[in-house]
């Protein structure tokens, strides 16, 4: 075996591809954030709109950097961001994410734990819109576009599902007011659901839309904490109180049992549909056996 072939294999080893993907995409995003922040400082825009413009700029650059990196790295067409079916995937994703979050809050309301204190000006949705939009795109590129997709190619859909879900939950353990239970809940809710959404749609628009709608509805509309983080401005100022098992406590509704159950049901449905339509990828050793 030649040194060149060893080098080529090392370069295209799954872990190598994941590390390079993270370094390039995160590096470009960090540089872009610094650049746009400096640029916005010389403008007279309101702070919230500066952040919104910056968030949109960073999100677009994240998509471009991912697309060009893997187009040349893997020498293929980037179907994850295909325009085909984009309206359908974004619409269904937003509807699903909104319904799941609304059901979660509805359980809290039924138990007398949710009340509206005030309804604020419409522009109060700008800060949570910025956070939801940028985080949905960047996190889905990193966790589903890079980690899950590359792992799935070798280990198959189900093992990749578990690995990426654990990683997603672990990443949120450092969040304010987080806990092991909250991390496990997020691993099941977002970690499994969003990867299942990718398997079913075979693009990133569907999980991005679910992720965005979940976070945006939770913060902007219902005025709740998102993964332990409090947004200063929301359309509705609310009061959420009660036992942590159904409110999520200071971590937010994502820490509730019903959020986990609702998302788990949606995950099972998507995986069942994916299995029926032949979209589940087998691990490499089963592919080899079947030849």
DSSP, collapsed to helix, strand or coil, labels residue 119 as: strand
Q: Does residue 290 surpass a pLDDT of 70?
A: no
Residue 71 belongs to some domain of the structure: no
> What domain count does the chain have?
1
User: Is 72 inside any structural domain?
Assistant: no
- For 116, phi and psi rounded to 5 degrees? -95, 125
Nearest-angstrom CA–CA distance, 210 and 140: 10
Nearest to 195 by CA among 102, 106, 267: 267
Mean pLDDT in residue range 250-261: 93
Instruction: Answer yes or no: is pLDDT of 1 > 70.
Output: no
What are the tokens at 254? 């994502």
Cβ-contact 93, 206 below 8 angstroms: yes
Residue of higher predicted confidence among 240 and 288: 240
- Please tell me the distance from the alpha carbon of residue 231 to that of residue 138, in angstroms, as a whole number: 19
Residue 52 lies in a domain: no
> In this model, does residue 4 exceed pLDDT 60?
no
Average pLDDT (251-268) is 94
195 CB burial (10 A radius; 0-12, 13-18, 19+): buried
Specify if 69 maps to a domain: no
Q: Region 174-185: what's the mean pLDDT? A: 88
Q: Assess if residue 56 is contained within a domain.
A: no
pTM tops 0.85, yes or no: yes
Q: Which of 1-15, 197-211, 235-249 reaches the highest mean pLDDT? A: 197-211
2-16, 165-179, 217-231, 273-287: least confident range = 2-16
- Please give the pLDDT value at position 228: 84
Q: Stretch 166-186: mean pLDDT, rounded?
A: 89
- Mean pLDDT (the chain) is 92
- pLDDT value of residue 12: 86
pLDDT band at 177 (very low <50, low <70, confident <90, very high): confident
Do the domain assignments include residue 197? yes
Residue 285 has pLDDT above 70, yes or no: yes
> What pLDDT, on a 0 to 100 scale, did the predictor assign at position 203?
96
Could you tell me where the beta strands, DSSP code E, fall in the chain? 114-119, 236-240
In terms of pLDDT, which residue wins out, 93 or 189?
Answer: 93
Question: Residue 144's pLDDT is what?
Answer: 96
Q: ∠ CA(48), CA(49), CA(50), 5° rounding?
A: 90
Q: What is the pLDDT of residues 11-55, one digit of tens each?
A: 889 999 999 999 999 999 999 999 999 999 898 888 899 999 999
Q: Is residue 167 part of a domain?
A: yes
User: What residue numbers bound the domain in which 245 lies?
Assistant: 83-289
Residue 226 main-chain phi, psi, to 5 deg: -120, 115
In a domain, 42, yes or no: no
How do residues 55-77 score in pLDDT, each as one tens digit? 999 999 999 999 999 999 999 99
């Amino acid at each position: 075996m030649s040194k060149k072939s060893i080098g080529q294999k090392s370069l295209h080893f799954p872990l190598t591809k994941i590390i390079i993907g993270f370094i390039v995409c995160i590096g470009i995003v960090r540089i872009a954030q610094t650049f746009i922040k400096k640029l916005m400082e010389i403008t007279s825009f309101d702070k919230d709109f500066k952040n919104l413009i910056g968030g949109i700029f960073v999100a677009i650059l994240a998509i471009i950097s991912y697309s060009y990196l893997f187009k040349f790295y893997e020498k293929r067409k980037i179907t994850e961001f295909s325009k085909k079916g984009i309206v359908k995937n974004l619409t269904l994703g937003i509807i699903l994410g909104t319904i799941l979050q609304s059901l979660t809050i509805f359980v809290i309301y039924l138990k007398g734990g949710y009340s509206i204190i005030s309804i604020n000006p419409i522009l109060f949705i700008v800060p949570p819109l910025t956070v939801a939009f940028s985080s949905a795109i960047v996190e889905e590129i990193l966790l589903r576009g890079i980690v899950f997709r590359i792992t799935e190619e070798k280990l198959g859909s189900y093992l990749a599902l578990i690995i990426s879900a654990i990683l997603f939950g672990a990443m949120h353990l450092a969040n304010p007011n987080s806990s092991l239970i909250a991390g496990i809940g997020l691993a099941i809710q977002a970690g499994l659901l969003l990867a299942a959404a990718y398997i079913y749609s075979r693009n990133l628009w569907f999980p991005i839309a679910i992720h965005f709608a979940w976070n945006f509805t939770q913060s902007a509309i219902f005025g709740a904490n998102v993964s332990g983080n409090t947004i200063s401005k929301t359309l509705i100022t609310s009061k959420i109180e009660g036992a942590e098992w159904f409110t999520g406590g200071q971590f937010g509704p994502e820490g509730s049992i019903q959020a986990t159950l609702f998302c788990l049901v949606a995950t099972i449905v998507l995986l069942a549909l994916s299995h029926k339509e032949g979209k589940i990828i087998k691990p490499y050793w089963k592919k080899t056996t079947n030849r």
